Structure 1
């Protein structure tokens, strides 16, 4: 299989921050066969490779002197079921939000809390995306990937993916080694709503037994009210993870900051609201150059136009320093950087 090799390729349409970085070369990958073929393509042998889907979790700080592999593998289908769940597979290039809507249209709930998260299906396991009391890993069955150096097709189950909080094997040891081609989800037949998150509950306006579509609609409404549309104002969604601290550290912090927003965890630790910490340091609405903290949601950094990836990272570092100095809490970025 011979793939078209594009030169001096703009990545503007392939990152949600809207940075006009360029790749020396690019290839569009629209099938598993195409993904496999990259491993034996002499034109890109020994060349650095960057796998990109929607680019919703990356900060591009420079041009890329290699080949960008733009994943566009499509397709959605039900591949099986058992007494407990349906198994649904989607190509890595499918739009995540559209896929969630499609599962509901098939009468298969379970992903509705993750509506309107930007990006592609293939990116979802890398980040182990989550929102409103649900993480993708809870609905995950397996994924299929191609090893970039050998072209070998490899299947990863949940254990192999090593999911953590906004984390996975693919963000750490597996970074740059594999291209995800499809993901299989296990959607429960005995579905129960997760609608206790305060903002979602308010959007549901007291509905006693909301169905999955009502939760989907409520999540969409909440996200549109709180978060900027990356197509209008460049951003990568939540920029920092909510830090998790020990119970002892939390009690010491609460003694100094009685209003601290927190969420007890099952293991006894406490998750802190990173947005609250940033807001208390006075960063909401402030920025550096064209990079700024969103004026309605301090957890989101935005590109007001003309910002560079370096300015976003400079802003992020200034925020991290201030939060550490005031609260003795380390913030960790969610996006990866290039």
Structure 2
């Protein structure tokens, strides 16, 4: 196992929180053969290994005593059928660039998912979504590889167990790595304007490009660029609660925004955090963003992962005590030797 003194390669530019931590080794890989060779080499030495795309959904707490593989396995293949565009995209492709490419080439459907940070490989893990759309609406399969045996498996959509910001890949296939995904986009385009922020747009004259630009503008206003203020976008999921608790809270907070999902109440985590007066709150250089309370920022880009975690835990406990709702973090938390279960830090009191 690597010792602490061996960590000399900076990950500051490889995670969007801009946390100044280091790893023992960092390698960018561009093909599957290189990925498998590296993984096998270091696993045989019992060194911890993790894979990053663009580091947009991780919080590093300490130096990582192992190998960080930066996935740059790229490639995109398109097959056209009578009713659909079928896309096969390798996991190292940038998600937003993929969305831009489809709009430019008149392949429509992904416009609501514009400007979501990260690489294609992480998209199905979180079942990324925004503005009334999510990847499960288009995903047909996810290809994964066991880097030890080099065995590739195709997981069809039905077996991905997609849920709100959730999928089977969070819990199963721990020894596998996502290498590509398949998407199918209908040639019969219907605008998705169900989300509140999009209801100002009109069905009769809206185009995919208008929606794409509109959403990009909204996201730029709500989420600061990571190079200016380090962040990972939304820190917590929007909670889904029972009708009983939802109706109880609605009697107390008549202005509480919500949507109904299978009779359950889906609430705005940002609104809950606002009600606890955290908007603009700052501690040790870590701030709840003044334009969107779901975003925790490394304001001066010199705070530690521990500092960010402490503020997140404070928000978690305060919201929990006030509303009886215990928020769930979206991000992955990485320690010295790999991912740490968030339940270690976020516990009901």
Quote how far apart the aligned CAs of 1:269 are. 0.7
**What does residue 194 of structure 1 align with?**
192
Task: Map residues 44-63 of structure 1 onto 2, 5 A cutoff.
Answer: 45-63=45-63
Q: Return structure 1 stretches of 4+ with deviation > 4 angstroms.
A: none
**What does residue 277 of structure 2 align with?**
282
**What does residue 291 of structure 1 align with?**
286
Quote how far apart the aligned CAs of 1:54 are. 0.6
Quote how far apart the aligned CAs of 1:130 are. 0.2
8 Å Cα contact 1:143/1:184 also seen in 2: yes
8 Å Cα contact 2:12/2:20 also seen in 1: yes
**What does residue 99 of structure 2 align with?**
100
8 Å Cα contact 2:42/2:49 also seen in 1: no
1:246 aligns with 2:242: yes
TM-score, scaled to structure 2 = 0.89
**What does residue 178 of structure 2 align with?**
180
**What does residue 65 of structure 1 align with?**
65
Q: Distance in 2 between matches of 1:211 and 1:141?
A: 25
Q: Distance in 1 between matches of 2:285 and 2:73?
A: 34
Quote how far apart the aligned CAs of 1:326 are. 1.1
Q: Deviations over 1:4-28 (max 9, x none)?
A: xx97321112111001211111222
Task: Map residues 116-265 of structure 1 onto 2, 5 A cutoff.
Answer: 116-175=115-174, 177-202=175-200, 204=201, 206=202, 208-265=204-261
Q: Distance in 2 between matches of 1:43 and 1:55?
A: 22
Moved more, 142-151 or 238-247: 142-151
Quote how far apart the aligned CAs of 1:157 are. 1.5
- Specify whether residues 283 and 85 from structure 1 end up closer, same or farther in structure 2 by C-alpha distance, changes over 3 A only: same
Q: Distance in 2 between matches of 1:108 and 1:102?
A: 8
Quote how far apart the aligned CAs of 1:44 are. 5.5
Moved more, 321-330 or 148-157: 148-157
TM-score, scaled to structure 1 = 0.92
Instruction: Give the secondary-structure state (helix, strand or coil) at the position aligned to 2:303.
Output: coil
Q: Distance in 1 between matches of 2:45 and 2:149?
A: 11
1:109 aligns with 2:104: no
Q: Distance in 2 between matches of 1:43 and 1:140?
A: 31
8 Å Cα contact 2:36/2:148 also seen in 1: no
8 Å Cα contact 1:263/1:271 also seen in 2: yes
Moved more, 80-89 or 12-21: 80-89
Instruction: Give the secondary-structure state (helix, strand or coil) at the position aligned to 2:8.
Output: strand
1:27 aligns with 2:45: no
Q: Deviations over 1:188-211 (max 9, x none)?
A: 112210123232333x4x463311
Q: Distance in 1 between matches of 2:231 and 2:58?
A: 10
Instruction: Give the secondary-structure state (helix, strand or coil) at the position aligned to 1:170.
Output: helix
Instruction: Give the secondary-structure state (helix, strand or coil) at the position aligned to 1:122.
Output: helix
Q: Distance in 2 between matches of 1:9 and 1:148?
A: 24
8 Å Cα contact 1:38/1:148 also seen in 2: no
Q: Deviations over 1:64-88 (max 9, x none)?
A: 111111101112220x233332111
Q: Where does structure 2 lack aligned partners over 5 or more consecutive residues?
A: 1-5, 335-349
Q: Distance in 1 between matches of 2:27 and 2:158?
A: 31
Q: Distance in 2 between matches of 1:82 and 1:241?
A: 37
Quote how far apart the aligned CAs of 1:170 are. 2.0
